[in-house]
Structure 1
Amino acid sequence: MTPDSILNGDFSEKRWVDQISKNFDNEVCNEVPVCVFSVPESISHFKPEAYVPLVIALGPYHHFQTHLYQMERYKVAAIKALLNLDQVLSFESLVIHRLKEKDPMIRTCYHKYMNLDDDTLAWIIAIDGLFLLGLFMHYGEIAPLMPKKLINNGVLYRDVMVLENQIPLCLLNEIWKSLFLSSTVHDDNGDRQLLSMLKEFCEVHSPLKLASDSNHGAETNYLHLLDLMYHLIINNQATIEHEDVEDMAKEDNLTENSDRPMKVIKNIPWEKISNLLGLKIWDDDKEEDDPSRIMEIEIPSVSSLIKYGRINFSHMIGGIREIKFEESEATLYLPVITLNGYTEVVLRNLIAYEMATSSSTPELAQYVNLMSGIVDTEVDVKLLRAKGIIEGNMNDKEIANLFNGMNKYKGRTNKTIEQLNDYYNNRPGIKAWRFMKKDLLRSQKVATIVVTVFICLLMILYSFCEVYGCPRLLDRT
């Protein structure tokens, strides 16, 4: 048996056959999409701790990890506080049996194969799902039963938003109906009530503003809490009300004047001159072409865009789809983002979910790329705070570290980044500085040639004066 074989000591061949046969015979599982993914190492590599729960496991992926298992007694205590005596006594018949009947559907929701029997899996989903419902419905009753450290530090909310910790909404619905809506409320009303509670949770804990019911389909079939938050963020669109833009200084008429001397210097055949003089030229591009280096997003920081590009920043009402750079106003419009202690985990898991499911442009990842590119230091954060674009209780250093540490997601170049770079790079002062920095100040090639030519000219002049006499130059009387 090979080391990577799935037929290890904990694997039950009979259980595998039973599960496959159920999936084969059951047609309903084909209608349920896989929605709870395991995060690949390519995404979690730089910060693996952001993609796993710290204190509480929800669902089967992390359920039996030793450091998380101590929370099971708090889950059970919270659940029993929510149920009446009849529901507690009939819990197995009301909930567990119903979930066992849905076993193929449960397994279809999860990306990983789960080597658990039907009864164990049903109990995991029942306890964790009901705890999650209780968190949405009766937070005030659950909070006193939880450790204070868990509530006060926001760790509970952090763990609830981890991708591998998601409980599919279709399973929450099954639990909801079996306990609360079995005979009193029509199922459609129950579905809307459950979705409304999840939306309220998302509104409180989302780093970006969410879409309202008026600008997205209210009947959308969301897959789980993270999927709901993701789509409410992406679909947030509004009519942008631009704030009054500060009068930008008029463009100095320097383009033509600054370009001419640079063109003259550039057109000097430095390579031919160096070859004639027998000089070895240093390749300035070697460092830039080094494949081992991790390249940053090619865009200036906020402070550089403002100071040198004369570009203004303004917050807007809309969402990330409405980010745009108005060249006529020299203004970049960005949505407001609220950053708190657990925001980085929420953002990382939202993007991990987007990368696992999106077949088109990863819109949230592109937004994070943009923010990671323009935020380099605490100064950049302060400038965006002053413009009302960044809010929240994280300090400036933490926010700068957050964006500098985010994964850079590859893909089609963002249009806004291209527009900003084009505008910035075509500013006369920037063009002059780039030339001086790249082609003169950093170029040993030009410096060496200029110094060598100058020395050669001095030697020729001195030799000429020695032969023919140059009293003033040689200080002879």
Structure 2
Amino acid sequence: MSSSHLCQNPNFDEQRWIIHIRRALDDDGDGDEDLDQESGNPVSIFNVPKTLTLASPESYTPQQVSLGPYHHWRPDLYEMEKFKISAARRSQRQLAGSRKFHDFVDRLSKFEIKFRSCYHKYLNFNGETLAWMMAVDSCFLIEFLQVFAAAGEGRKSGCDAVIRDMVMLENQIPLFTLRKMVEFQLGSVDRADDLLYTMLMGFCNEVSPFKINRESMPNNVSRVLKCAHLLDFLYRSIVPKSEVLTEIAVDAEKEGVSECEKISFRKIMSSIKRLVISKPVKFLLMISWKIVSVLPGMIVVKQIEYLCFSREREETNTENENSNKHPLMEEITIPSVTDLSMAGVRFSVTNEGIFGISFDRKTATFNLPTVRLDVNTEVVMRNLVAYEACNHESGPLIFARYTELMNGIIDTEEDAKLMREQGIVLNHLKSDEDVANLWNGMSKSIRLTKVPFLDEVIEGVNSYYEGRWRVRIGKLLKRHVFGSWQSMTFLAAILLLSFMSLQTFCSLFSCARLGQVSLTL
């Protein structure tokens, strides 16, 4: 039955929904020892929120191959179905003894409840269709992953489009399906775990923007069992669940206490500020300025009055506009790489990944991990950000905060060039301009969070930068001289007054005749 017919038959959908609910309630979890209960198998494959897809729809929608149920019925992806079937045939020929591919499908059919619980969206498929889909897609995926199993072997040419589809959040299948398939082929659980781990590590080394440190990762069996799907394995390779995350959670609690103290302090300072700039004080100041300004030759006073109070009005309007903005729309506040370099900040490479990001104020050194950028990187990072935001069990949005940090410090082609020269950006794109466009085009996260160690780095960089005298003087000139037409008017008025005074002086004391006398002498 075609997908269009399914969508046009509401009675069929209602009937399937009732069957699904009845089976979910009647299922007691008997049968296979690996079949987890519904409550122990959280959702891990999500629909990407529209707030992210609007920026770059092609980064979240597969273009070559569909894996799993979300994009299974798309006609534009049917061309790859023949390659999937070919992979299933080859897998069937590799089976030993009297085992058939149908036997593996029958085994997968026992996991229907577990399959459905992995997906955030209701799956409009019957159990048999879902089992066959998972079996065929797992054969194709395993055969493709075997390319990366051999150490030191690079990817085949022309596979970039398929690689991008494989890391998309909506194009994932549960990882336990691959494990069951490899185990069915090899007849050994231990050998299956070793081979699957090798394939996954090879793939992650190929597509990960960062160098993966195997020593900091758990053993292969526990790692394969704990990961939900291929994208989750990649995410945990970049942001591993370790003691560091526990420390982040503790720091977040401490940060909450200190933040309350900061709020109290800000309230006190705000009260003092309101008292100082209250209406009575402003009225007295205005009267004083008016009295002084009526004196002859006090044009300067009028200009100062205009500049001071107009600046205050502009800042008030700016604060009101910023308060109306949604927090998610605010770009991270940090100087660009070029500005930091001019202020004396040095950039250095850390080998500890994202958790190695730090700023040493004594040596003015900004430590950042090396990130490799190629044709697949943007899709990989966008889907990692989407998965991190949708998966509430991931904790703080560490990877999203990292992308916001890089977005903040890389604004122009010159910034990207400096990062490349320092070895922080390994550019496999066409130009440094493409690097800048990649970071500037990254989407913001869909939910707010605090990452204490990254926020501390950002605060330290800003504090050092704002404390430099060169920066202070430059901002002063930019704000009050070059960035204000009132200031330019003020300077022009002073020059005009000077020329008028000089002309009056010369007309009274005959500057021209005095000049002729001096030349004669």
- What TM-score range do you get, normalising by the shorter chain? 0.7 to 0.9
Q: Which has the higher helix share?
A: 2
Residue from 145, 154, 160 that aligns with 1:154: 160
Q: CA deviation at 1:177?
A: 2.5
Aligned to 2:271: none
Q: Deviations over 1:208-261 (max 9, x none)?
A: 122324454652411111111111111399xxxxxxxxxxxxxxxxxxxxxxxx
Are residues 1:315 and 2:384 paired? no
Q: CA deviation at 1:83?
A: 3.2
Instruction: Give secondary structure in 2 for the equivalent of 1:207.
Output: coil
1-structure distance, mates of 2:239, 2:194: 21
Instruction: Give secondary structure in 1 for the equivalent of 2:380.
Output: helix
TM-score (norm 2): 0.73
Residue from 78, 81, 106 that aligns with 2:115: 106
Contact 2:303–2:490 (Cα < 8 Å) also in 1: no
Change over 3 Å in CA distance of 1:295–1:105 after alignment to 2: closer
Q: CA deviation at 1:91?
A: 3.7
Aligned to 1:439: 480
1-structure distance, mates of 2:93, 2:137: 18
Change over 3 Å in CA distance of 1:473–1:419 after alignment to 2: farther
Instruction: Give secondary structure in 2 for the equivalent of 1:116.
Output: coil
Change over 3 Å in CA distance of 1:292–1:119 after alignment to 2: same
Aligned to 1:235: 240
Instruction: Give secondary structure in 2 for the equivalent of 1:175.
Output: helix
Change over 3 Å in CA distance of 1:444–1:65 after alignment to 2: same
Contact 2:148–2:202 (Cα < 8 Å) also in 1: no
Residue type of the alignment partner of 1:444 = W
Contact 1:314–1:331 (Cα < 8 Å) also in 2: yes
Instruction: Give secondary structure in 2 for the equivalent of 1:58.
Output: coil
Aligned to 2:204: 202
Change over 3 Å in CA distance of 1:108–1:295 after alignment to 2: closer
Aligned to 1:46: 55
2-structure distance, mates of 1:321, 1:380: 23
2-structure distance, mates of 1:81, 1:29: 34
Residue from 91, 115, 123 that aligns with 2:124: 115
2-structure distance, mates of 1:212, 1:206: 13
What aligned pairs does 1:44-443 form with structure 2 within 5 A after superposition? 44-84=53-93, 91-137=100-146, 151-152=157-158, 154-181=160-187, 185=188, 187-216=189-218, 219-220=222-223, 221-235=226-240, 272=289, 273-274=301-302, 281=310, 284-285=314-315, 289=321, 295-306=330-341, 308-358=342-392, 360-395=395-430, 396-409=432-445, 410-412=448-450, 414-443=455-484
Aligned residues: 426
TM-score (norm 1): 0.79
Q: CA deviation at 1:445?
A: 3.6
Q: CA deviation at 1:433?
A: 0.5
Change over 3 Å in CA distance of 1:152–1:17 after alignment to 2: same
Residue type of the alignment partner of 2:363 = E
Deviates more, 1:440-449 or 1:56-65: 440-449
2-structure distance, mates of 1:121, 1:473: 104
Instruction: Give secondary structure in 2 for the equivalent of 1:152.
Output: coil
1-structure distance, mates of 2:470, 2:149: 59
Change over 3 Å in CA distance of 1:75–1:447 after alignment to 2: same
Q: CA deviation at 1:475?
A: 7.4
Change over 3 Å in CA distance of 1:358–1:208 after alignment to 2: farther
RMSD: 3.6
Contact 2:148–2:199 (Cα < 8 Å) also in 1: no
Contact 2:239–2:399 (Cα < 8 Å) also in 1: yes
- Percent identical among aligned pairs is 32
Residue type of the alignment partner of 2:9 = G
Contact 1:339–1:390 (Cα < 8 Å) also in 2: yes
Q: CA deviation at 1:125?
A: 0.6
Residue type of the alignment partner of 1:416 = V
